[in-house]
Structure 1
Amino acid sequence: MKVKEALTWAIRQLDLDFIAKPKIDALLLLSHTLGKKKEWISAHPGESLSQEALKSFKDAVEKRRNGKPLHYILGCKEFMGLKFEVNESVLIPRFETEDLVGYLIERYARRAYTFADIGTGSGAIGVSLAYHLPLSHIYATDISEEALVVARKNAKNIGVDERIKFLKGDLLEPLKDVIDRIDVVIANLPYVKVEDYEELPLDVRREPEQALLSSERGIGVYKTLLLQMKTYGISTAYIECTPAEIGELTAFIFSLGFGHRVIKDSGGAERFMVIGVEI
């Protein structure tokens, strides 16, 4: 089978299972299988696939048809121009989160700051900040040791491991001994309501449940974080959530004496909140 034929076959297979972007997925899976760039695939439609490559490609397409997230099959996801390893232990970084990281990079480039990336997962936020803000220092926490293994590897691969300290534990708890060093907290925590979980696409439900689900109408984890901020005297935080969660959180934020401001993403949706004093 030739490259063009393989792509056509894969697109049809993926389309049968209502994969949202069958053409893109087919191209990326073939590029991954052959170890070639997408441009090479497009420029060599008549190139023949070996039997081994064809089998590997068909296996990858079958995994995608069965709901395995594309980037788990590829083993990586690009974020802020950097290549992050991902597997079933971590949530796949979303492009919307790049808007928040880009905002932070622009705002905090002028001098050295210490950030705390809470619920770091793959390390996408903390590692990206360390890479793009070379004066910065990062603490990153996660409750999952498996996720921290992935995050540490990404920090090392990208060359910023000497400026990131990874700690296992619940939210701010691992930072008790260094809390006075933290200038800014960033958190992209679980905010999917339990009742909404089954409505998520199959491939999203293949990502770690503990990285998606939150109690109390989606704001339970953030309420715990806010209470810890109050206890430890943290005055500046940026969080990612949905417009519904922003509305739910507002009264609780005010009850703790924090101010807040909403930041829209590049698509115009209210997705991020600055809590406390923006330094």
Structure 2
Amino acid sequence: MSCYTVAQAIAWATSEFADLSDTAKLDAEVLLLHILAKPRSYLFAWPDAQLVGVQYNEFKKSVARRVKGEPVAHIIGEREFWSLPLNVNSSTLIPRPDTETLVEYVLSLTFAEDAQVLDLGTGTGAIALALASEMPAWQITAVDFSNDAVALAQSNKRKLAIKNVTIMQSDWYQSVAGQHFDLIVSNPPYIEADDIHLTQGDVRFEPLSALVALDEGMSDIKNIIDKGRDHLKPGGVLLIEHGYQQAIKLQQYFAQMAYTNILTIKDMSGCDRVTLATWPK
């Protein structure tokens, strides 16, 4: 096995992942490139390069972890979001491409040059750091209930050398009492406790506290919308990521709580993904 070439190693790992992942070959490539510390172009330029013993042994260990279902992001300790390489671990959700829908839409809106922004349940810091990287004059506060998540987000802030984000522990709005924001964003827990998807794929290795909410997945969302009225400036905007079947419920609750300009945005797959509303002036 230690005499495997790059191409042979990828072919072997791809076959190992065939029944596990819809992206079996990509998973194999990402794991191998991490061990080799090479760019993706290396796979095409040097398919016949042989792996040395240490490299193959590490690759074999990584493949074994993936075969057990462990997410690739956890194995390599990193996931790219909005072109930012973020450290990840089992204390938070792994950033997903669908969440970039929220970032993209926020950046299409018009806010004050020095807008005050709050990211609730920041996890890895993905949303806050993506927005901060694009809008360096914005002042962004990112909070999470989990101390481990706060530490992870802070490590990503340091890694990316982003200055305009403050990260702190908070039970939703608790640590920002009395503060008001131009923009509040959140990707909160929104999955029902008995959802079958919780037993499948990568989510088996992610914290349930970041995934599951009571009241058919709506309890945290309702709390954010309700208390958001005390933390938005007049004309301020609240955007929430949610499940593809929850848009109508969010729209109705936003209206019930007297928000205006309610709108739902679809993700790249055409599913309802983000609903936003304005706190009236």
Give the residue type in structure 1 aligned to 2:217: G
1:8 Cα deviation from its structure 2 partner = 1.1
- 1:273 Cα deviation from its structure 2 partner: 0.8
Q: Deviations over 1:196-226 (max 9, x none)?
A: 0555423222111111111110111111112
* Residues 3 and 47, structure 1, Cα contact 8 Å, conserved in 2: yes
The residue that corresponds to 2:108 in the other structure is 106
In structure 1, how many angstroms separate the alpha carbons of the residues matched to 2:221 and 2:196?
Answer: 18
Q: Helix, strand or coil for the counterpart of 1:263?
A: strand
Task: Name the counterpart of 1:139.
Answer: 141
Give the TM-score of the pair, scaled to structure 2.
0.92
One-letter code aligned to 1:8: A
SS for the counterpart of 1:147 is: helix
Q: Which residue of structure 1 aligns with residue 244 of structure 2? A: 243
Paired residue for 2:5, among 2, 9, 21? 2
Cα distance change of structure 1 residues 233 and 2 upon mapping to structure 2, 3 Å threshold:
closer
Query: Which of these residues, 17, 32, 38, is aligned with residue 14 of structure 1?
Result: 17
Residue 205 of structure 2 aligns with which residue?
206
* Equivalent position of 1:254 in the other structure: 255
Partner of 2:172: 171
Q: Is the 8 A contact 1:19 1:65 kept in 2?
A: no
Question: What's the counterpart of residue 70 of structure 1?
Answer: 72
Displacement of 1:109: 6.8
Give the Cα separation in 2 of the matches to 1:199 and 1:145: 23
Q: Aligned with 2:238: secondary structure?
A: strand
What is the number of equivalent residue pairs in this alignment?
Answer: 275
| Structure 1 equivalent of residue 89 of structure 2 | 87
- 1: CA distance, partners of 2:88 / 2:148: 11
Kept in 1: contact 2:101–2:274 (CA 8 A): no
Task: Specify the alignment match of 2:217 in structure 1.
Answer: 218
Q: Which amino acid aligns with 2:176?
A: L
Do 1:2 and 1:46's aligned partners in 2 also have CA atoms closer than 8 Å?
yes
Mapped to 2, the partners of 1:272 and 1:198 lie a distance apart of: 20
Query: Counting helix residues as a fraction of each chain, which structure ranks higher?
Result: 1
- Other structure's SS at 1:30 match: helix
Residue 191 (structure 2) aligns with: 192
Q: In the alignment, is the contact (CA less than 8 A) between 2:143 and 2:167 conserved in 1?
A: yes
SS in 1 for 2:195: helix
Structure 2 residue runs of 5 or longer lacking an equivalent are none
Q: Partners of 1:56 and 1:13 in 2: how far apart?
A: 16
| Cross-structure match for 2:150 | 148
**Identical-residue share of aligned pairs (%):** 29
Q: Is contact 2:186–2:241 with CA below 8 Å preserved after alignment?
A: yes
Q: Aligned-pair distance for 1:108?
A: 3.9
Q: Any conservation in 2 of the 1:264–1:272 contact (CA below 8 Å)?
A: yes
Residue type of the alignment partner of 2:272? E
* CA root-mean-square deviation: 1.8
- Deviation, 1:4, is 1.2
Structure 1 contact 109–133 (Cα < 8 Å) conserved: no
Match of 1:27 in 2: 29
CA drift at 1:96? 1.1
Q: TM-score, normalised by structure 1?
A: 0.93
Amino acid at match of 1:255: Q
Deviations along 1:76-117, one digit per CA (max 9) or x if unpaired, are 111111111111111111101112101212324762211100
Residues 109 and 131 of structure 1: CA distance in aligned 2, closer, same or farther (over 3 Å) = farther
Q: CA deviation at 1:149?
A: 0.5
- Check the 8 A contact 1:197/1:213 in 2, yes or no: no
